[in-house]
Structure 1
Amino acid sequence: MRRARPVGLALPAPMLRAAFILAAFLLWSGLPAQAQQQGRDAPGRFDFFVLALSWSPTYCAGPKASPQQCRGRSHRFVVHGLWPQYVRGYPDFCQSPAPYVPDAVVSGMDDLMPSKGLILHEWRKHGTCTDLSPKSYFDLVRAARGKVAIPPAFAADSPPTLTGEAIEAAFMSANPGLKDDMIAVDCNDGRLSEVRICMNRDLGFIACPEVNRRSCSPRRPLAIPAP
């Protein structure tokens, strides 16, 4: 005697796909945060660094200037941050809550990053993605800054107006091994805002096409406000 076959409901392919996606989402959202973070933005998973050097007088002329950085002292280039990057895109805020940064570590960075708010923000947004302790991360920031020589033009009392191309050339001349596809110049309202230099995990200079493409127009003259 032939047994009757169970009768099932055959769903159309699009509905099956939607059901699968929903099930996967529910499974993912139910995982602990630590398990979720083993994906793309897990601490320590990145390809290279960007060392961002901010021209402080431009920042201090803006509406969000930090009193701690912009009053009482004159700064030129300060470290905006050391940012882990992917070849395309970047991770951020990789640990929540972020590990505590000891006061001694914060005060020890004052010569390079003259704002407690900046230091703590950079740790939360970028440092937590390195899989380093706060002290080790900021030690690495200091080491990265020590790898870059600042061109003499930026030491002048009144730095000259330079094109983005000329700024890159000045940094390349002062830093053997640095090429034009390893650096980007950022600007704001016709003024130099930042110089960004790409480094590998050993802090050697490295090409970074996506970062480089975001440079200001290379032939546009940029004012460099005096400190």
Structure 2
Amino acid sequence: MKHASVAPILALLVMLSACKSAPNTDSGSPGPSTTADRATPHLPQGTGFDYYLLNLSWSPEFCYSHRDAPECASRNTFVLHGLWPQNTNGTYPENCSSAPGPSDPSAFSDIYPDQHLLLHEWQTHGTCSGLDADTFLSTARAAYRSIAVPPQLANISSQTSMPPDEIVSLFTRANPSLSSESVAISCGHNFLTAVEVCLDKSLHPVACGPIRSCRATIIRIPPPR
């Protein structure tokens, strides 16, 4: 999501499937993967949105089973999955137009080394932003760079475990502009999968409203491999 094999295709499918939300039912025991709760009907095309959800994927968890994915070569911690238009009533628009993608996709390889994922994120989410592709992707880059990764996670060298609220606290301490209401934690099978930050259209933190963190009591956090 580099070799002539099925691995990149499988990796891409997994990453794309993560854009589709499931009900947040993680109670702290192993079970189906869950993300912050966005299991609500999609809005009709072209209806606008209220705020952005910035999804920062925990790369070590994804790369455990997708080591050929382009982003896994760098042994990163958090990587950009997407910047997703959302609404305060819990709905979210998708696939709002057939507008063309960026003029030079490689210009955004720092945030999307896989151009298939870049185009998916643009077509599914970016077309609902009201921005052209280059502006939207530049906005996604700015949003990604605006969030400091806490040193306790940026420098992790061995697996650790902590409650979701503690992960939120690490992010609010590393980013004074964030409040606990603007951060949500996603997990699957009690492993960290993503941290999500709610931002207004000017990329200032806002309350996430209906989006909630996963319900696991303790989340395991593997290091980069």
TM-score by length of 1: 0.73
The residue that corresponds to 2:206 in the other structure is 206
Shift of residue 50, structure 1, vs aligned partner: 0.6
Question: Shift of residue 217 of structure 1?
Answer: 1.9
- 8 Å contact 2:55–2:195 — kept in the other structure? yes
Q: Which of residues 54, 57, 63 in structure 2 aligns to 1:54?
A: 57
Partner of 1:185: 185
The Cα shift of 1:134 comes to 0.9
Alignment partners' CA distance in 2, 1:79 and 1:66: 17
Provide the rounded CA distance (Å) in 2 between the counterparts of 1:47 and 1:133.
18
Question: For residues 71-220 of structure 1, what are the structure 2 equivalents within 5 Å?
Answer: 72-87=73-88, 88-95=90-97, 97-102=98-103, 104=104, 106-156=105-155, 157-158=157-158, 160-211=160-211, 213=212, 215-217=213-215, 220=217
- Two-structure CA RMSD over aligned residues (Å): 1.9
Measured in 1, the distance between the counterparts of 2:83 and 2:68 equals 19
**How many Å separate the matches in 1 of 2:137 and 2:75?**
22
Deviation of the 1:133 alpha carbon: 1.1
How far did 1:41 drift?
A: 2.9
1:141-174 CA distances to partner (integer Å, 9 max, x unpaired)? 1111122111001122225322111100000101
Note the residue ranges of structure 2 that are not aligned, 5 or more in a row: 1-42
CA change 1:181–1:66 in 2 (3 A) is farther
Cα 1:118–1:226 shift into 2, 3 Å: same
TM-score in terms of structure 2 length: 0.74
Displacement after TM superposition at 1:200 (Å): 0.6
**Which of structures 1 and 2 has the bigger CA Rg?**
1
Instruction: Name the counterpart of 2:38.
Output: none
2:45 is equivalent to residue 41 of structure 1: yes
Unaligned runs of 5+ in 1: 1-38
Flag the structure with more relative contact order, 1 or 2, with Cα contacts below 8 A and sequence separation at least 6: 2
- Share of identical aligned residues, percent? 36
Q: Relative to total residues, which structure has the larger helix share, 1 or 2?
A: 1
Q: 1:177 to 1:52 in 2, by over 3 A?
A: same
4+ aligned runs moved over 6 Å, structure 1: none
Deviation at 1:127, TM superposition (A): 0.3
